């Protein structure tokens, strides 16, 4: 068994994410080297938390008895954020292998998946990119008519 105390941080995002996601990422970090499969599974569970935070329903329409799979929920999320959905799906597949195979997944697989998860977090929660896009659109809309005005 491999352990490092304190554990290595799996992700260090530079923007706000929900506390429950921070806890799940920390939980995955705690088993990163000793059980990459468990870490992958914990990040896969974090995907469900992200989807819930973004209001993606957990149950099919008209049924509270059955639950939608993570895969189905990501597909629903695709309508509002296709790029993030692609990233989440990549991590979900790796998490599935971590959950259902008896052999430990390679650490490199987990780290690849975490990169996809980190990109999804960025696309969903980091407002910097959206703000830059918004500001660029305003400037580009003015184009040739962009002028310096006094006091601004």
The residue ranges of every structural domain in the chain are 19-145
pLDDT of residue 4: 53
pLDDT tens string 90-104: 999 999 888 877 788
pLDDT tens string 99-144: 877 788 899 999 999 999 999 999 999 988 888 888 999 999 989 8
pLDDT tens string 10-37: 777 778 999 999 999 989 988 888 889 9
pLDDT of residue 149: 82
Is the sign of the CA dihedral 72, 77, 78, 79 positive or negative?
positive
Q: How many CA atoms does the CB half-sphere of 74 hold within 13 Å?
A: 21
């Amino acid at each position: 068994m491999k352990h490092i105390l304190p554990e290595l941080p799996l992700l260090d995002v530079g923007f706000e994410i929900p506390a429950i996601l921070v806890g799940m990422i920390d939980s995955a970090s705690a088993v990163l080297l000793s059980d990459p499969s468990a870490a992958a599974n914990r990040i896969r569970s974090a995907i469900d938390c992200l989807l819930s935070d973004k209001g993606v329903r957990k149950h099919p329409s008209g049924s509270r008895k059955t639950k939608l799979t993570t895969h189905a929920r990501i597909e629903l999320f695709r309508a509002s954020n296709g790029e993030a959905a692609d990233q989440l799906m990549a991590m979900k597949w790796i998490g599935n292998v971590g959950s259902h195979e008896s052999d430990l997944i390679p650490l490199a697989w987990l780290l690849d998946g975490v990169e996809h998860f980190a990109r999804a977090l960025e696309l969903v929660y980091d407002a910097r990119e959206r703000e830059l896009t918004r500001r660029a659109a305003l400037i580009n809309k003015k184009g040739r008519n962009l002028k310096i005005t006094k006091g601004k």
